[in-house]
Amino acid sequence: MSVSVMKSPLEQVVIEYSGPLTRFFQRRIRAGQDADDLVQEVFGRLARQNLSTVDNLQGYIFQIAANVLRDQARRASARDFIVAQVEGFDAEDQAGFSPERVLQSREALQILVSALYELPQNVRDVFSQYHFDGVSQVEIARRMGMSLSTVEKQMAKASAHLLKRLRKVL
């Protein structure tokens, strides 16, 4: 006698979409990258959702997959930029570390931090989650219960304010 075990909605999604998601990622990533890690990231994000409220589950899953790719590309771009900066760094170039330059950099950092605290709390939260924590704007909107358009407007407001304040010293 066999006992039928009910699977959770997430388990059913994992069974049904593991293969299609793996193929989706394999067609879009470079050799050496692991599609299975990206598939797991999709399932991790789905685990935090109430799947019973989703009307178009397949579209929703593949939108999350596209967001995972976008987030990965953004992180890789930032990583490549940092590596390029480190490789281009010349420790023998002492002019870059003149006392005047160090002082200017410290002042600019202080102004940036002060300018961040001049922003309303919700604008500051959106900006810091995106730039410091690497959270996508879509995820910020979901977390904070606001529309993507509102998140985008708050990002623009924060960026404009910070640039305005930094232009005075740079």
Set out the domains of the chain in order of their start, with CATH numbers: 1-89 (1.10.1740), 92-170 (1.10.10.10)
**Token pair 């066999």 is at which residue?**
2
Residue type, 144: M
* Residue 90 pLDDT exceeds 70: no
Q: Give which of 108, 110, 107, 112 is closest to 127, Cα–Cα.
A: 112
Residue percentage of the chain with pLDDT more than 90 = 18
Terminal C-alpha separation, the chain: 77
Contact 135, 129 (CB under 8 A): yes
Q: 21 is written with which tokens? A: 């998601």
pLDDT in tens, 101-142: 777 778 888 888 888 899 999 999 998 888 888 888 888 999
Provide the pLDDT confidence category of residue 88 given band limits of 50, 70 and 90.
low
pLDDT at 93 over 90: no
| pLDDT at residue 16, as a whole number | 92
For residue 89, give the DSSP letter.
-
Please write the tens of the pLDDT for every residue from 11-44. Answer: 888 999 999 999 988 888 877 678 888 899 898 8
